[in-house]
Homo-oligomer: A and B are copies of this chain.
C-alpha cells in the first residue's frame, strides 16, 4: 500500500514503518497500531518509547548463563540457593521461565538464545557454545538438555551431547512422552511411538 505524503503526515508514516520491526506485524497491523496509539493511548505510546530506550540501553547478556540481565552476572547465577552441580540448557529465556514455573529444578541454566539453524545463520558461534564448554571445563556438573522437541531442537541437543561427551560429564535430556492427563486415543502417533520406544521399567 502506498501512502501519499498529502494524506499521511510523515511522522505518522515513519511510526507505521518503525512498528514493523515487531515480529508478526505487517503493514495493516502497523497502521492499526499507530492509529490506535495516536487516537486512544498517547500516554501508552510515550511509556513504550521510554521502555524501549531504557531496555536497549541497559539490558545485556549475563556472562555466565547468557540470559538477559542488567548486570554482568545475573541474580540467578549469583544466588547461593541454586544447585551448582546441575546445569540446564534451554533455547530461550521463555523456556527458562517455564522451567521455573514448573518448580521442578533448582540448578543453574545456560540460555542458548536460539537453536542450531544454519540456514538462519545460527551456528555454534552464535549460540556461544564455546562459553558453555568453557564453563563445563572449569566447573564440571551434570548437564540437562531442555531444548525443544522440534527438528532444530533435536539437532541442537544431539550436537551438544556430542560436543560435551569429550568433557566427561553426565548429559541427559528431558523426557518425551504422553503429557500428564494424556489419553492414548488423543495423542498423535509420533508422540505415542516415541513413548513406546523410550518406555521405562516399572519397579514392582
Contact = CB atoms under 8 A, between A and B. Distances in A.
B101 A1 contact: yes
B38 A21 contact: no
A102 to B, nearest CB: 13
Copies of this protein, total? 2
Contacts of A94: 31-32, 35
A21 B35 contact: no
A197 interface: no
Nearest to A3: B97
Contacts of A113: 39
A186 interface: no
Nearest to A101: B1
A89 B41 CA distance: 24
Interface in A29-61: 29, 31-39, 41-42, 44-56, 58-59
A83 interface: no
Contacts of A36: 22-23
A96 B7 contact: yes
A5, A12, A55, A113: which has the most chain B beta carbons within 10 Å?
Answer: A55
Contacts of A37: 21-22, 52, 55-56
Contacts of A22: 22, 33, 36-37, 48
A24 B24 CA distance: 11
Contacts of A163: none
Contacts of A58: 9, 11
Nearest first, the 6 closest Cβ-Cβ pairs linking A and B are A21-B44, A18-B51, A49-B52, A15-B55, A18-B48, A15-B51
10 contacts: A5-B75, A6-B79, A12-B55, A17-B51, A18-B50, A18-B51, A22-B37, A23-B32, A23-B33, A45-B56
